Amino acid sequence: MNPITRRNMLTATAAGGLLTAATAVSAQDGGSVPQPQRPGRGGTDPGPRNLMRDRQNPDLLVRLERGGWTRQVTVRELGISKNIAGVNMRLNAGGVRELHWHKAAEWAYMLYGSARITAIDAQGRNFVDDVGVGDLWYFPSGIPHSIQGLNPDGCEFLLVFDEGDFDEDNTFLISDWFKHVPNEVLAKNFGVPASLFGHTPDPSELYIFPAPVPGPLGSDKIPGATPVPESFSHRMMAQQPIKTKSGTVRITDTRVFPASKTIAAALVEVDPGGMRELHWHPNTDEWQYYVEGQARMGVFASSGQARTFDFLAGDVGYVPFAMGHYIENTGSTPLRGDSVGHYEGDTLVIDTVGVKTGRPFAMVDIYGTPYTEALHVVERYRLLDYEAAKEAQERGFKENRRLPHNDSGLDVDENYKGKGLQPQFTVEDEGVFTMPWSAMMTYRRAVGAWPEFVCSENRHEYYYNKDAEVPTADKPDF
C-alpha cells in the first residue's frame, strides 16, 4: 500500500480536508526558532509550526525570494496525491506574486495577515479584493492573477491545485513571456515604441518581489470596468459553523462559493479527546492540512490494509477516494482562539482569530459591543524612549481625558525617565463593523501600586452594590 501521508509542511484542502486540531503543541517550547530567510531574501514563518521538525530540516523545500518565500508538496513529494497539489506561500508587506496563470485551478485559504488579489477573465472582466485570515479565493484555470501582501506584516496562505503534478516553479509568468517575444512584436502589439521593452526584467528577478504597499482598495479598482459575474473570493469565517459535541465544521462548496467549481473544502475544529467520526467520500479524494495542534488519523484501504498516522501543525494528510478514515484530537488543550506572535524589529505583533463566541461576556469593549466568529485582532506592542512616550501620552490626554492625580496606580510617575509601552490594535469583524478600526494607548510607569479592582476574592461593585458577574470554575484550567 502506498503511504497515505508525508510529514512535509504544506497545504490545504479539497473535498473536506482543511483540519484544525484544537490543541497546543509542546514542541513550540524553548530553543531557537529557525526562519526561512537569508539576507535580502525570504521572510518569517508566522506559525503555528512543528518547531522540532523545522529545527531538524531548516531549509526543507523552501524557495526564498526577495519578497517572501514559497514551498510545495506535489505528487513528486507525496506520491499518493495524484489529483491534488499544494503550495504554502509567504509574502512580506508589499511583496508581490507576479501576474501569472496556470493550467490548474487555484484555491486558497488565508492563514495569516492580509493580501490584495487581482484577476481578469477571458472577457476582460475585472476583479480586485482584499482578503484576511480565514478568507478563500479561487481562480479558474488559465485566469491571470496576482497577489500582494499588505500592511502591517504581509500574509501567509495555503494554495491548492486540482492537479497532483502541478509545479509552482513552472507557471506562466508575464515577464517570462515578454522576455521571449521580440521587442518589435511587443511594440506592434501595444502600439508603443520598441525601446520601451528594452529593459524587461529577467523572470528570475520577479516571481515574488518587493514593491510599495498599495493604497486603499478603491485606488486599485478601475473606473468603468465590468466586474466578474461571480466573485473569486469568499469569507469562510462568516459562515455559520455546524456545531457538534466534539467541535465545529464549516463546509464551503459551490452552494456558498459558486466560483469554486473544482475544489470544495471543510474547516474542521476538533476538541481535545474528540474525533471526526468514521466516514469515507464516495466521489473524491481528501487532502488535509493541519493548521495547528496534535491529531491521529486511521485509514482503512480494504482487503485488511489499514494504517495509522500522527500529525502536528503544518503536516499534510491524504486519503484516496472511498477509503474509510477517522481523525482524533490527541492533544490536551481546547482551542479558545488562534494567536500567532512574532517580532518585527523591536515590535511584538500578535495576530488573533477564532475567538470563541456563544458564551457570556462575549464583547469587544466595556460597552457590550458584540463580535462574531469573523473577529480578527492584530495587536502591536513596542517600547518608546522617554521623550516619545511622554509626547504620545500628553497627546492622548488632550484627545481623551486625564484622571485626577492620586496614588492609586493610575497616575504617571513624573520622576521616572525610562521607557514607556505603546500598544496598538486593529479590529476587523465583517459581522459587526463596516470597516476595520484601530486604537492606540501609551503607558508610562505609574505612581503607587497597580490595584486589582475586581477579582474572585472581592467581586463586590460598590457603585452598583452587587457582586460582579465574573466567570468561575470548579477547578483550575491550568
Active-site choice (106, 163, 286, 292): 106
Residue that the C-alpha cell 485559504 belongs to: 109
Catalytic site includes residue 41: no
> Can you list the positions of beta strands (E) in 335-396?
338-344, 347-353, 376-384
Residue that the C-alpha cell 480494504 belongs to: 302
Q: Which three cell numbers stand for residue 275?
A: 474525533
Catalytic site includes residue 279: no
Q: Which amino acid, one-letter code, is at 228?
A: V
Residue 376 forms beta bridges with which residues?
428
Active-site choice (49, 97, 250, 380): 97
Band the pLDDT of 358: cuts 50, 70, 90.
low
Catalytic site includes residue 76: no
Active-site choice (49, 66, 100, 234): 100
Q: Global pTM?
A: 0.67
For 171, counting Cβ atoms within 10 Å of its Cβ (0-12 exposed, 13-18 middle, 19+ buried), the class is middle
Active-site choice (49, 53, 66, 102): 102
Active-site choice (66, 71, 116, 145): 145
Catalytic site includes residue 180: no
Is 151 or 333 the better-scoring residue by pLDDT?
151
pLDDT tens digits along 408-441: 556 788 888 999 999 999 998 888 899 899 988 8
Give dist(CA 234, CA 263) in Å, integer: 13
> Can you list the positions of beta strands (E) in 85-173?
85-91, 96-101, 106-120, 126-132, 135-139, 145-149, 155-161, 172-173
Q: Output Rg (C-alpha) for the chain, integer angstroms.
A: 25
Residue 360: CB atoms within 10 A of its CB come to 7
Residue 348 forms beta bridges with which residues?
343, 381
pLDDT of res. 360: 62
- The DSSP string of 282-314 is SS--EEEEE-SSEEEEEEE-STT-EEEEEEETT
What is the distance of C-alpha 110 from the center of its chain?
Answer: 4
Picking from 132, 134, 138, 135, the residue whose alpha carbon sits closest to that of residue 107 is 138
What is the topology classification, in CATH, of domain 5-329? Jelly Rolls (2.60.120)
Q: Which three cell numbers stand for residue 317?
A: 494528510
What is the distance of C-alpha 182 from the center of its chain?
Answer: 41
Catalytic site includes residue 325: no
Contact 84, 73 (CB under 8 A): no
Picking from 113, 90, 195, the residue whose alpha carbon sits closest to that of residue 380 is 113
Domain edges within the chain = 5-329, 355-467
What is the distance of C-alpha 229 from the center of its chain?
Answer: 27
- Find the helix or strand (DSSP H, E) in which 54 lies: helix 51-56
Active-site choice (168, 292, 373, 428): 168
CA distance readout (Å), 370 to 80, 357, 364, 404, 424: 46, 9, 6, 31, 20
Residue that the C-alpha cell 526558532 belongs to: 33
- Whether 261 shows a pLDDT value over 70: the answer reads yes
Band the pLDDT of 455: cuts 50, 70, 90.
very low
pLDDT tens digits along 360-397: 667 887 777 888 878 888 899 999 999 998 888 888 87
pLDDT tens digits along 398-407: 777 666 655 5
pLDDT of res. 56: 67
